[in-house]
Structure 1
Amino acid sequence: MIVTALFAAVIGILAQITIPLPLVPITGQTLAIGLAATILGARFGTLAVILYLIIGAVGVPVYAEFSGGASVLVGPTGGYLVGFIPTAFLIGFILEKTSFTFKNAMIANSLGMIVTLIFGTVWLKIAADLTWIAALAGGFTPFIIVGLIKAALASWIGVLVRKRLHSAKLLILDQVEITKTY
């Protein structure tokens, strides 16, 4: 529970790293989502994201640019936030079914980035009443290169941190690990 809450806080902190763009800013949130899922796996990575979203929805200013409240979730950028849930699950699921290597993490984080962008772009189109061309131009294409860079960072840092936490016996995430440890 503590590690899950810690990663919810990490997501909120990295969300404040923003590069403003006309419709949707580039933020550190997606990097944090990738880190949470890569380090914690599907279950706890997804729980960290859900906790982060709940904290922001009740009004704590943890979303990008110190925003918060349910209005952000239903606003033009809400799809990206909601898309973090399946993104975290997908990244963790892929890694749990394969292995926590940089290559697998890069594949998982890249697919996760695409999931977030799809959710965000569809939501942006509907919430902002844009054409598909405008929604793709403002909510998808500007984020591909930056998203791949963040996917690589989340993969590299996430796998490294996960290995170190495991070797130090500081990260126990499932019953199999608990049985092996005790």
Structure 2
Amino acid sequence: MWIVSALFAAVIAIFAQLTIPLPLIPITGQTFAIGLAVTILGLRYGSLSVLLYILLGAIGIPVFSGMSGGLGIITGPTGGYIIGFLPAALVMGIYLEKTRFTSSHAIIANIIGMCITLLFGAIWLKYFANLSWPAAFTSGIAPFLIVGVLKAIAAALAGVVVRQRLLSAKLLTTKTVSH
């Protein structure tokens, strides 16, 4: 499962390159891939994938959006979102393991994860760019809400199907991933 976690860290890095540029913070595929990883792998290995992704970027491997990496990215305007990926994955995984890996629960978990990521990003942006709270909301949360919900739903639905098929094919087992 360590290899699968590393594979999903690579998937997150690939999806990070899918971007829609906006003035301050781009819309990326990272949150979709993180939702997919946690929905498929559960708390332990989904969160491990996210942690590995963040660590790879922190040491300078260009896995963040725009093929960037390094501590400068984490301490820059998008740093709060990147830092928020890990608590989002942890909470999503905990929620799914306390409930069930169904489409409806996965959608709820992924929307919660989106909210956590956006909250970390906006708080970071407020202090990094010295913005007011309304300005941090306007630039750090509002532009991402609709797309974020759509990515959360897509990650949840795709993740549940892939998880069920991998479990059926015995490529994942409930001994290695939860439920």
**Counterpart residue number, 1:15:** 16
RMSD: 1.3
Q: Distance in 2 between matches of 1:176 and 1:77?
A: 31
Output the CA distance in 2 between the equivalents of 1:61 and 1:107: 31
User: Secondary structure of the equivalent of 1:60?
Assistant: coil
Q: The residue matched to 1:32 in structure 2 has which SS?
A: helix
Partners of 1:42 and 1:71 in 2: CA distance: 28
Displaced runs of 4+ in structure 1, greater than 6 A?
none
Q: For the structure 1 residues 77 and 167, does the alpha-carbon distance in structure 2 shift closer, same or farther, using more than 3 Å as the test?
A: same
Shift of 1:133: 1.5
TM-score, reference length from structure 2? 0.96
Aligned residue pair count: 177
Deviations 1:91-131 (A, max 9, x none): 11111111111000011111111000000000011111111
- Give structure 2 stretches of 5+ with no counterpart: none
Is the Cα–Cα contact under 8 Å of residues 40 and 173 in structure 1 kept in the other structure? no
- CA distance in 2 between counterparts of 1:30 and 1:150 reads 7
- Quick check: 1:20–1:26 contact (8 Å CA) kept in 2? yes
- After superposition, where does 1:93-108 map in structure 2 within 5 Å? 93-108=94-109
* Contact 2:12 2:33 (C-alpha < 8 Å) held by counterparts: yes
- Gap change, CA 1:23 and 1:42, over 3 Å in 2: same
Partners of 1:102 and 1:158 in 2: how far apart? Answer: 9
User: How much does 1:172 deviate?
Assistant: 2.8
Identify if the C-alpha distance between structure 1 residues 175 and 61 changes in structure 2 by more than 3 Å, giving closer, same or farther: closer
- In the other structure, the counterpart of 2:129 is 128
Identity %: 58
Conserved 8 A contact 2:45-2:177:
no
